Amino acid sequence: MDGDFDALKREATAWVVRLTSGTATIEDGDALRAWRARSSEHERAFREAARLWNNLGPALGNERRHAVPVVTRRSFLAAGGVAASAAGAAFIMSDLGFLPSVNGLLADYTTAVGEQKSIDLPDGSTAVLDGKSALVMGYTEDARHLSLTAGAAVFEVEGADPRPFVVSAAEGRSILSSGTLSVAHAVKDVSVECIQGTVKVDCLTSITLVKGEGVVYSAAGLGQKGMAEVETAAAWRKGLLVFNDRSLADVVADLNRHRRGKVMLASNTLGSQRISGVFHLDRPQEILAHFENALHIRSVNLVGGIVLLM
């Protein structure tokens, strides 16, 4: 029996490598979904392989938030019986929005670039996911636990259930019994806004938010509590991108959740510049033109919907 599962894990490893190779097709993604659906053991083997791959460190130089295990991607590939060279172009297609990321493949609910989805949760609560988001559900007898592993979401929490409603994102978590909150990943931090009710936010220390308040946290802990505009919180639900004195890097990350392809920055210095504006998400060229005019930069259009700001 163990030998059968080991064989499934080798197959699952090969699937993970193919999906993150940079040469995968939409048909490959459909074939993987069919393979995972063949049995619970197929699904378990895939999840184990994907979790290991996802924890093995940086892809294409991207910084990770957590320590990297000693095992390397080369040894991972060798264990699966596939060539290590396949890792060289890892995550390119998923990063451009054409294929799901490994986080997305592991999630219970996902959205594609530009897609929004409303999810009815088992307790009567609702989660609304922004584009390119991933949500993992972990309800137990003691808590209604959800993990937002990518993107942004608004949670409308039903108060009749006595269990606390807990939303984890990166290094922190938000806890409430009823109400509405917005949680969004940025480049290096996570923002939480209380739209209705009271929310406790934990990240090294704790803070309590009431309606109209928000906080940003990162690996360094909680930032200062600030005011949040309830009317513009999670403005993406209304098809808008609203940013007030935010870094260009964070605004670009928001835009990339709604635009197929990728807007890229030529330097970290450029990404740190602050910018404000209100735009319609279905008019990305107007947003890019605003970047150029406000910051006196230029954009270069490349293949595959890639735009380089410099």
Domain closes at, from 106, 138, 153: 106
C-alpha closest to that of 165 among 134, 130, 196, 189: 196
CATH code assigned at 191: 2.60.120.1440
Dump pLDDT digits (tens) for 41-57. Answer: 888 888 777 767 665 54
Report the first-to-last Cα separation within the chain, whole angstroms.
56
Q: Are residues 216 and 272 in the same domain?
A: no
Q: Are residues 146 and 216 in the same domain?
A: yes
Residue 243 lies in a domain: yes
Domain closes at, from 74, 106, 138: 106
Q: How far out from the chain centre does Cα 300 lie?
A: 26
C-alpha closest to that of 155 among 197, 187, 212: 197
Helices and strands (H and E) in the chain: how many: 9, 19
Residue 234 lies in a domain: no
Report CA-CA distances (Å) from 216 to 23, 171, 257, 259.
Answer: 37, 11, 19, 25
Q: Are residues 207 and 256 in the same domain?
A: no
Q: Are residues 222 and 124 in the same domain?
A: yes
How many domains is the chain partitioned into structurally? 3
Whole-number pLDDT of residue 60: 35
Residue 111 lies in a domain: no
Residues of the chain with pLDDT under 50: 57-93
Per the structure, the complete domain to which residue 275 belongs is given by 239-309
Domain closes at, from 47, 73, 106: 106
Rg (CA), the chain: 20
| Strand pairing report for 109-110 and 134-137 | antiparallel
Residue 126 lies in a domain: yes
Residues 6+ apart with CB under 8 A from 277: 241, 242, 243, 287, 290, 294
Whole-number pLDDT of residue 253: 92
Other residues' Cβ atoms within 10 Å of the Cβ of residue 259: 23
Residues 6+ apart with CB under 8 A from 1: none
Q: Are residues 202 and 135 in the same domain?
A: yes
